[in-house]
Structure 1
Amino acid sequence: MRAFSLFLIPILLLSACAAVDDSKKSITLDKALWHYETAIRWVDFTSANSLRRPENSTDYSPDPALLKHIKVTSYNVQNTTTSADHAEVDITVEIIYYHDERMTLTTITDSQKWKYDPEIKAWYITTPLPAFR
């Protein structure tokens, strides 16, 4: 029985460490998502862009002259899917905004892919900024 206990203790400790690591990942993801959402809602695209690491150099990049006319009225997360290893998250967001010279509400769906960087223990978004028009 004692040998079994000595074998079981390290396994329990390792699984506890993994749970703590997943919990820390979740907390840092929540913070990154909050910062990104806040930046988009307040039309601070420089801050939103600072959380990005584009995977494709041809990603859409909104025109800065256009962005100064965009006013976001709503940012609602519609769906979240997490990978089995908790290192990637796909999020679908509905964004409602208007262009201050046109004054018509426009709704877009923004598909976001977030990835965790274990070296710096932080999340980053790989997809482009929302496609405001």
Structure 2
Amino acid sequence: MRRLLIPLVTVSILALGGCATNKRKDDLTTTLNAYASTVRWGDFNSALNFVDPKVREEHPIPPLEMSRYQQYKVSGYDEGNGPTPNGEFEAKQVVKINLVNVNTQAERTVTDHQTWRYDAESKHWYLETGLPDISAGKL
């Protein structure tokens, strides 16, 4: 009986580990889709909620800089090949965001290099790299 118990326990532990990994992947997909939708609508104030709270606390965005996001309408959001896993609790993604200046109607593209980290405590994916940098000097 003991001979059967050890393999059964081992298989059960491996299966549960696989379930956790699949759940994290599904959560990442859900989070990335929600973030993309938020940015597509140009709602950068809500997009800020996807940024890791520790990053927001250490690097707060001044109101003047947040107001710059209101100068632009998002005309495109292209995830390219989607996220690339970087270990068990991190994913990277490169996104091209097309922005139209509401004052000049000039369009430009920002390349946003995103790093997403899974927080096991809150069971949530957070954006580590902050909101896309839309300042003219970075394009």
Query: What TM-score does the superposition give when structure 1 sets the normalisation length?
Result: 0.87
Distance, in Å, in 2 between the alignment partners of 1:121 and 1:73 is 32
Distance, in Å, in 2 between the alignment partners of 1:123 and 1:103 is 34
Q: CA deviation at 1:63?
A: 1.5
Give the number of aligned pairs.
Answer: 131
- 2:12 pairs with 1:9: no
Determine the structure 1 residue equivalent to 2:58: 57
Change (3 A) 1:56 1:111: farther
- Which of 77, 84, 109 is equivalent to 1:81? 84
Change (3 A) 1:34 1:51: same
SS at match of 1:68: helix
* CA offsets 1:37-91 (integer angstroms, 9 cap, x no match): 111111111111011122893587672332112111111112422123x200011
Moved more, 96-105 or 12-21: 96-105
- Please identify which structure carries the higher strand content: 1
Distance, in Å, in 1 between the alignment partners of 2:92 and 2:120 is 18
RMSD in angstroms over aligned alpha carbons?
Answer: 2.1
- Please identify which structure carries the higher helix content: 2
Q: Quick one: higher RCO (CA 8 Å, sep 6+), 1 or 2?
A: 1
Question: Could you list the runs of 5+ residues in structure 2 that have no partner in the other structure?
Answer: none
Query: What TM-score does the superposition give when structure 2 sets the normalisation length?
Result: 0.84
Q: CA deviation at 1:33?
A: 0.8
Distance, in Å, in 2 between the alignment partners of 1:59 and 1:65 is 14
Distance, in Å, in 2 between the alignment partners of 1:105 and 1:7 is 62
Q: Which amino acid counterpart does residue 114 of structure 2 have in structure 1?
A: Q
Determine the structure 2 residue equivalent to 1:110: 112
Distance, in Å, in 2 between the alignment partners of 1:66 and 1:91 is 24
Moved over 3 A (4+): 55-62
Moved more, 42-51 or 73-82: 73-82
Distance, in Å, in 1 between the alignment partners of 2:115 and 2:22 is 20
* CA offsets 1:17-53 (integer angstroms, 9 cap, x no match): 0111011111111111111111111111111101112
